Structure 1
Amino acid sequence: MKFKNRADAGNALSETLGPSTKNNTLILGIPRGGIVLADIVAAKLSADLDIVIPRKLGAPGNEELAIGAVMGDGTDYVNRYVVIALKVKQDYIEREKEKQVAEIALRVSKYRRANLPYKIRGRHIVLVDDGVATGATAIAAARWIKKQEPLSLTIAVPVAPAQTVEALRHEADSVVVLAAPVDFAAVGEFYEDFAPVTDEHVMAIMLRRGLL
């Protein structure tokens, strides 16, 4: 399965989610690409929208390789298999967490109105991204969401490798994935157009939604 672009993926995700969507649903998008899909899903399903901002913890010497992820309050996920394989020391992990928490604070100030409370408790939450590879950021976000006591949590993405889908199932009440290939290199290979999403695009969505 290949999607034309994020709009196409968002529409496809909406169609799959539609029949099971309950009242009192909140769609949470992971920036940058995930918020584009989340905005489409929220509009199609007549649901509310908000943004959650996890950050990947990069491996020593290779920040593109995720050894885990963190949320702004320190809620984290650390992939112990990768950490052990790469012999990553705990002090490095703590420094990387501090660095990424600081980056999250900057992005929150850019994307979301100051002191705006989240309205998660007692609601059905759908966490959306434009695709996951290791699943680290989605898992960290899911763990943070569960601390807010939602009624239910669904993770919904257009594409994820089969082994990651299994990991996600341990973190949510349900997982919706449109394509779960065994042969997986990167999320972008499943899109004809996977152009980067700018801060300005994310901010425009949040402004339109009255969240910025």
Structure 2
Amino acid sequence: MSGARQFTDRADAGDRLGETLRDRGVDADIVLAIPRGGLPLGRAVADALEAPLDVVVAKKIGAPGNPEYAVGAVASDGSVWRNERAIGGTRTDEGYFEERRKIEAENARRKAERYRGGRPAPDLAGKTVVVVDDGVATGSTLRACLSKLERSDADRIVLAVPVGPPGTIADLEAQVDEVVCLETPAGFRGVGQFYANFTQVSDEEAMAYLER
């Protein structure tokens, strides 16, 4: 891919993802979007594949004194991904990591419950699950979400994202059955550079995609 702004907005990226998945013959039982930014794409993909839409939620575990730098991430059921390089580089001790893991797992659980509005979490056993996000950079929260799904007894897990750096996408291919990524640019700096419109998605807007 030669330049930035390959997608008009998240809806455009979702439409393209849905078309590609359909062309590849992916037969999804359910689509799980990662809120908030993944839900506009998840809605488009779910509609294209004629599958129900739900969410999978994880929260970043920030480094001591630098919460924006992920030393790991944890999903709503406690499934955790550890960034060992970042843990070592920031000298994050195990006591701190475990404390933050518990806090962020509870935050993720509450967020998932709020988004579902009282609906039970879907049973994924034996199903083909398509996981959608608006792009991947380091993939910390995504990796925690995939760790959760690995424990769900799903029959097949397909990751679908519009854009991500080649190295991260290659790493994620080892964690799922199939990765569908429309663009893997060598000059990747951030997901937003590939969208003409990458405005933040509010909780209210994101939850509305689940109600359609």
TM-score range, shorter chain: over 0.9
Give a deviation string over 1:109-154, Cα, whole Å, max 9, x none. Answer: 3211336131211111110000111111111111111211111111
Distance 2:201 2:133 in 1: 13
Letter in 1 for 2:91: K
Among 110, 120, 133, the residue aligned to 1:116:
120
Letter in 2 for 1:87: R
What is the DSSP-based 3-state SS (H/G/I as helix, E as strand, rest coil) of the residue aligned with 2:69? strand
Greater shift after overlay, 15-24 or 74-83?
15-24
Corresponding residue for residue 189 of structure 2 = 185
Structure 1 residues 82 and 195: CA distance shift in structure 2, 3 A: same
Matched, 1:74 2:74: no
Q: Is there any run of 5+ residues in structure 1 with no aligned partner, and where?
A: none
2:129 counterpart of 1:125: yes
Q: Cα offset for 1:21?
A: 3.7
Superposition deviation, residue 22 in structure 1: 4.2
Deviation at 1:207? 2.6
Tell me the amino acid that sits aligned with residue 96 of structure 1: R
Moved more, 198-207 or 148-157: 198-207
Offset of residue 44 of structure 1: 1.2
SS at match of 1:120: coil
Q: Equivalent residue for 2:65?
A: 61
CA-atom RMSD, angstroms? 1.5
1:96 maps to 100
Q: 1:21 to 1:96 in 2, by over 3 A?
A: farther
* Unpaired stretches in structure 2, ≥5 consecutive residues: none
Shift of 1:106: 2.6
Change in Cα spacing, 1:25 to 1:115, as seen in structure 2 (3 Å) is: closer
Cα distance in 2 for partners of 1:29, 1:63 equals 24
Q: Distance in 2 between matches of 1:171 and 1:88?
A: 25
Q: State how far apart, in whole Å, the 2-side matches of 1:118 and 1:21 are.
A: 23
TM-score scaled by length of structure 2:
0.92
Match of 1:52 among 51, 56, 65: 56
- The 8 Å contact of residues 163 and 184 in structure 2, kept in 1 or not, is answered as yes
**Residue 103 (structure 1) shift:** 1.5
Instruction: Tell me the number of residue pairs that the alignment of Structure 1 and Structure 2 aligns.
Output: 208
Q: Distance in 2 between matches of 1:190 and 1:12?
A: 14
CA distance in 2, matches of 1:173, 1:134: 20
1:163/1:182 contact within 8 Å kept: no
Q: What's the counterpart of residue 211 of structure 2?
A: 207
How far apart in 1 are the matches of 2:77 and 2:29?
24
Deviation at 1:63, TM superposition (A): 1.7
Q: Tell me the percent identity.
A: 38
Q: Distance between the aligned counterparts of 2:26 and 2:167, measured in 1?
A: 28
